[in-house]
Amino acid sequence: MSLVASSDAMYRLLVQSVMDYAIYLLTPEGLIANWNLGAQRAKGYEASEVIGQHYSIFYSQADRDAGKPAANLEQVRRTGRLEDHGWRVRKDGSLMRAHVVIEAVRDDNGVLVGFAKITRDCTEQYYAELARREHERHFRLLVQGVQDYAIYMLDTGGHVINWNAGAQRAKGYTADEIVGQHFSVFYTPQDRALGLPEQGLETARREGRFQAQGIRQRKDGSHFWTSVVIEAIHDEDNGQFIGFAKITRDISEQHRYELQLLQAKELAEQYSQEMSNLSQFLDSVISNIPACVVVQDLASGKVLLANNHADRLFCGEAGHLIGGLPRECALPITGEFLEEQLARGARAAHGYAAQTCVQTAIGPRTLRSRALLAQNAGGRADYVLFIAEDATDELAAQAQIHHMAHHDALTGLPNRMLFNQRLKKALAQGEQCGKLTATLCLDLDNFKNINDSFGHAFGDKLLRALGTRLRNELREADTLARLGGDEFAVVLAELDNPEAACCTAQRLIDVICPPFQIEGHQFSVGVSIGIAYAPHDQDNAEQLLSFADMALYEAKRNGRNRYECFHAGLHAEAHRRRLVETELRAALHLGQLQLHYQPIVDVQSNLITGYEALLRWEHPSRGMIMPMDFIPIAEETGIIHEIGARVLNLACQEAATWEGQETVSVNLSAVQFKNAGLVRTVTLALSDSGLAPQRLELEITESVLLGNNEQNVHILRELKSMGVAIALDDFGTGYSSLGYLRSFPFDRIKIDKSFVHDMCESAQAMSIIRAITELSTSLMIKTTAEGVESIEQMQRLAAEGCSHVQGYLYGQPEPASARLKKIGKSAGD
Ligand code: C2E
Ligand code: MG
Ligand code: MG
């Protein structure tokens, strides 16, 4: 077989076995000349059935009617080839979408010998394509029509490729304006600066999808909250990355709702937290409130709420009120009380308040309670609320305060306020029953010195002991009060006669007499008492007390440790004292106070060695007033400081003018030592006058040293160190004691004139003088005997070794101008 023949055979074989293509030849008339397997498969005919038939059998009746088979062949005859897509009919009548190629076959001379026809059954592809197109069309319509979503595509670089209605609606750009632009224009400048657009694309490229929410910018610059999805798109066929699909949805409103929802949720949580806190707080308030709180259900009578306090008070430690009836849960006695209070509260229109002393589980307590109906929101009363405050301690404190306000803290005795009340009450009662009321004013003799010397704590003990003794001596109905300091007062009510008060006063004096034992010391104190009666003296409480005070002053004046009753004279006396006080102030300024000088004579030489300055008040109407009549008043009122300074200045100034070198003795009151400026006053008097300190002698009495008064001793030392001499005046009259002589190195002791006066008659006075002179001699202290009026006295004193004498025998106190210069002559006369 030739190559051509063999290849021809092979070709035929190939054509005949091709299954996917119907390949066959037509005669120039269009009759089927051969038939391959592909044709059989496509059209359903076997070769024997179709060979020799016109190929138009494959056309539909309509195509055949339209002459399409012939027209096609005609076209091939003319053009040599035809390619067509169209519907053909299979043997079984079914339609087949065919891709038809018909080519003219000519011989070497160009004469048409037939047609080669290749038909491919594309029905499946056709339908698939049709479906695809339809799908795409729908999709496009869908995408373009979607209003709520901005759906568009980006190229691989992020430039907008297409644009739907939703995108236009959301972002404001038309397709013309935005296609080709980079999609980052939708981002805010800040997000652009952060590189968010690129990051989104990068994530989508890397992970296939990027999803986020954020703020985007519209064409007009306004912002909206958006949900964005970017998906990377790859070619379905070759998998090549071709860009991004971007779906953006304006969720501003949703976002706003979400935010509002979130806020609402937070608010609700906060509110619920607050509510829960509040409720916890209320629980804790109720359980910790320092009061009993009980709520009773009106219908059932059961306790709905009771705090710890209520349980503790009404049930004791283990019990609980909640859930039961008060009488069942509480202790019997408290349950009864509680039920009664609740019942009263339920009945009373405006609640029921009470203060009751109740036997509770913790003992007797005074409860200040209130029970009332509690209404619900509808105004109906469902509950009874009982609140009780334990007022026991408060009342006790009030009682304590009341007691404190009316009693003296130190002695526990009534104070001035309560005393006044009791006095007024006693006066009223006395008036009613026609009986006497007496007021006693008590003052301790020299208490001040004891206090100053031994300290306040010591003084306090003494006052307490004293209070006890006095109180025991009185009737229950009598009032003993401490008015302050060492001042006590007594109200004796409903007396039958004045003597009863005098008896009581004497008893009080007597009971104080025995020495007190305090801190190992034995102490005797005296008490002076003044008595005034109502209605005899006065029926006004204040006046009565002031009258008793006047009587007290009198008792002290009359020698202390005694009582005096008020009488009109005392009132006059008190009046006089007040007058003196005022006049004394004036006298000081008017120069009515003068000094008289009395000589002090040396027993050995019989010469005047000094003068004692003694104060006189030249009263314009009452004549000369002696010191004893105004010095005590000056001391009481404090004018003594001014008077004392005046005396010092005057004495120094006058003495400085004397020709001789006599000393000048100035009396200092104990009160003057209370003035811190005493040393300075003396210094100034000396420096102003130019008097040598050695010419000044200061006379003090024992009272300055009473109780080892360290401060006064210190002042004395200072004065002495200046060169001033210190004399102890009126020695032997006070509490005396030789002990004083040890406490300070005196320059002189002045023996009181009472001993000199008695010395010739009284051996006792004589022996006291002797003791003083002996001691003074041994201590090398000068002695001056005061009040020497007779030569006998002078001689005896001289015999006892007394160094100096002073008295009328040598001269009366006289003004400086008239003072005697030569003693010997007048004394001898
Ligand atoms: P004193 O210091 O003991 O003064 C002596 C008193 O005895 C003086 O009384 C004087 O006049 C009086 N006297 C003198 N010689 C005799 C006599 O022979 N017989 C009698 N019976 N009496 C005589 P006076 O002047 O009435 O002074 C009384 C007291 O007043 C003084 O007693 C003194 O304690 C006080 N006193 C006088 N002047 C002052 C003063 O300037 N300041 C202070 N604080 N007290 C003064
Ligand atoms: Mg004197
Ligand atoms: Mg004297």
Q: Could you read off the pLDDT of 419-432 as tens digits, one per residue?
A: 999 999 999 999 99
pLDDT for the residue 350: 86
Q: Percentages helix, strand, coil for the chain, rounded to the nearest 5?
A: 45, 25, 25
Atom of ligand 1 nearest to the CA of 595: 41
Neighbours of ion ligand 2 (CB under 5 A): 667, 699, 729
At a CB cut-off of 8 Å and minimum separation 6, what does 107 contact? 113
Distance of CA 49 to the CA centre of its chain: 119
At a CB cut-off of 8 Å and minimum separation 6, what does 684 contact? 649
> What are the distances in angstroms from CA 542 to CA 287, 416, 431, 539, 627?
54, 11, 16, 9, 32
In 579-654, the DSSP E strands lie at 593-602, 608-619, 623-625
- Residue 708: band (very low, low, confident or very high) from pLDDT cuts 50, 70, 90: low
Region label for 666, one of left (φ > 0), alpha (ψ between -120 and 50) or beta (otherwise):
beta
Query: Ligand 1 atom 3: the closest Cα is on which residue?
Result: 730
Amino acid at the residue 566: F
Query: Ligand 1 atom 27: the closest Cα is on which residue?
Result: 627
Q: From the CA of 722, how far away is ligand 3's center (Å)?
A: 24
Query: For residue range 472-518, what is the model confidence (pLDDT) as tens digits?
Result: 999 999 999 999 888 999 999 999 999 999 999 999 999 999 998 98
Q: From the CA of 665, how far away is ligand 1's center (Å)?
A: 11
Please answer whether residues 303 and 325 qualify as being in contact, where contact means their C-beta atoms are separated by less than 8 angstroms: yes
At a CB cut-off of 8 Å and minimum separation 6, what does 632 contact? none
pLDDT for the residue 147: 75
Q: Where do the domains of the chain lie, and which CATH numbers do they carry?
A: 3-121 (3.30.450.20), 128-250 (3.30.450.20), 291-396 (3.30.450.20), 409-565 (3.30.70.270), 595-611+636-820 (3.20.20.450)
Cross-sheet strand order for the sheet of 223-234:
149-154, 241-250, 223-234, 209-217
Give, for 664, the enclosing helix (H) or strand (E). strand 663-667
Query: For residue range 34-47, what is the model confidence (pLDDT) as tens digits?
Result: 888 888 988 999 98
Atom of ligand 1 nearest to the CA of 669: 44
Tell me which of 594, 595, 614, 823 to substitute to probe ligand 1's pocket, judged by most ligand atoms within 8 Å of the beta carbon.
614
Check pocket membership of 672 for ligand 1, CB cut-off 6 A. no
Query: For residue range 395-416, what is the model confidence (pLDDT) as tens digits?
Result: 888 888 888 889 999 999 999 9
Q: From the CA of 583, how far away is ligand 2's center (Å)?
A: 24
Atom of ligand 1 nearest to the CA of 701: 34
Query: For residue range 621-648, what is the model confidence (pLDDT) as tens digits?
Result: 999 999 999 999 899 888 999 999 999 9
Quick count: other Cβ atoms within 10 Å of Cβ 706? 19
SS3 559: coil
Ligand with minimal distance to 610 CA: 2
Distance separating alpha carbons of residues 83 and 227, to the nearest angstrom: 52
Distance separating alpha carbons of residues 136 and 697, to the nearest angstrom: 141
Q: From the CA of 626, how far away is ligand 2's center (Å)?
A: 13
Q: What b/e readout covers 422-455, taking b as 16+ CB neighbours within 10 angstroms? A: bbbebbeebeeeebbbbbbbbbbbbbebbbbbbe
Q: From the CA of 599, how far away is ligand 1's center (Å)?
A: 12
**Distance between start and end Cα atoms, the chain:** 215
Atom of ligand 1 nearest to the CA of 668: 44
Check pocket membership of 250 for ligand 1, CB cut-off 6 A. no
SS3 381: strand
Check pocket membership of 808 for ligand 1, CB cut-off 6 A. yes
Region 657-676: what's the mean pLDDT? 93
Check pocket membership of 729 for ligand 1, CB cut-off 6 A. yes
Check pocket membership of 789 for ligand 1, CB cut-off 6 A. yes
Query: Ligand 1 atom 41: the closest Cα is on which residue?
Result: 615
At a CB cut-off of 8 Å and minimum separation 6, what does 467 contact? 411, 412, 413, 480, 482, 488
Check pocket membership of 191 for ligand 1, CB cut-off 6 A. no
Ligand with minimal distance to 651 CA: 1
Q: From the CA of 472, how far away is ligand 3's center (Å)?
A: 42
Q: Provide the pairing of β-strand 563-565 with 526-534.
A: parallel
Q: From the CA of 665, how far away is ligand 2's center (Å)?
A: 7
pLDDT for the residue 342: 92
Q: What residues does 356 pair with on adjacent strands?
A: 367
Atom of ligand 1 nearest to the CA of 626: 26
Quick count: other Cβ atoms within 10 Å of Cβ 778? 8
Region 766-772: what's the mean pLDDT? 92
Distance separating alpha carbons of residues 423 and 415, to the nearest angstrom: 12
Check pocket membership of 615 for ligand 1, CB cut-off 6 A. yes
Q: Secondary structure of 292-347 in the HEC alphabet?
A: EEEEEECCCCCEEEECHHHHHHHCCCCCCCCCCCHHHHCCHHHHHHHHHHHHHHHH
Ligand with minimal distance to 595 CA: 1
**Of 76-90, 236-250, 472-486, 781-795, the least confident:** 236-250
Query: Ligand 1 atom 21: the closest Cα is on which residue?
Result: 787
In this predicted structure, the answer to whether residue 2 has a pLDDT above a threshold of 70 is: no
Tell me which of 757, 786, 794, 814 to substitute to probe ligand 1's pocket, judged by most ligand atoms within 8 Å of the beta carbon.
786
User: Average pLDDT over the chain, rounded to whole?
Assistant: 89
Q: From the CA of 692, how far away is ligand 1's center (Å)?
A: 24
**Of 2-6, 7-11, 44-48, 456-460, the least confident:** 2-6
Burial class (CB in 10 A: 0-12, 13-18, 19+), 590: exposed
Query: For residue range 273-327, what is the model confidence (pLDDT) as tens digits?
Result: 877 887 777 777 777 778 888 989 988 999 988 888 899 889 988 788 899 999 8
Structure tokens at 739: 């002990």
pLDDT for the residue 824: 43
Closest by CA position to 533, among listed 439, 420, 441: 439
pLDDT for the residue 783: 96
Atom of ligand 1 nearest to the CA of 699: 2
Closest by CA position to 615, among listed 590, 645, 595: 595
Q: From the CA of 709, how far away is ligand 1's center (Å)?
A: 25
Distance separating alpha carbons of residues 82 and 27, to the nearest angstrom: 16
Distance separating alpha carbons of residues 155 and 163, to the nearest angstrom: 12
Q: From the CA of 786, how far away is ligand 3's center (Å)?
A: 6
Atom of ligand 1 nearest to the CA of 806: 15
Query: For residue range 544-591, what is the model confidence (pLDDT) as tens digits?
Result: 999 999 999 889 888 778 999 999 998 888 888 888 889 999 999 999
Q: From the CA of 627, how far away is ligand 1's center (Å)?
A: 7
**Of 368-372, 440-444, 613-617, 731-735, the least confident:** 731-735
Q: From the CA of 614, how far away is ligand 1's center (Å)?
A: 6
pLDDT for the residue 821: 47
- Residue 822: band (very low, low, confident or very high) from pLDDT cuts 50, 70, 90: very low
Query: For residue range 73-89, what is the model confidence (pLDDT) as tens digits?
Result: 999 999 999 999 889 99
Q: Provide the pairing of β-strand 608-619 with 593-602.
A: antiparallel
Length of the chain: 829
Query: Ligand 1 atom 30: the closest Cα is on which residue?
Result: 627
Quick count: other Cβ atoms within 10 Å of Cβ 613? 25
In this predicted structure, the answer to whether residue 238 has a pLDDT above a threshold of 90 is: no
pLDDT for the residue 5: 52
pLDDT for the residue 258: 80
Check pocket membership of 787 for ligand 1, CB cut-off 6 A. yes
Structure tokens at 422: 């009791």
Atom of ligand 1 nearest to the CA of 614: 38
Check pocket membership of 628 for ligand 1, CB cut-off 6 A. yes
Q: From the CA of 204, how far away is ligand 3's center (Å)?
A: 126
Check pocket membership of 786 for ligand 1, CB cut-off 6 A. yes
Check pocket membership of 752 for ligand 1, CB cut-off 6 A. no
Query: For residue range 320-351, what is the model confidence (pLDDT) as tens digits?
Result: 889 999 988 888 888 899 999 999 999 988 88
Structure tokens at 762: 């009284």
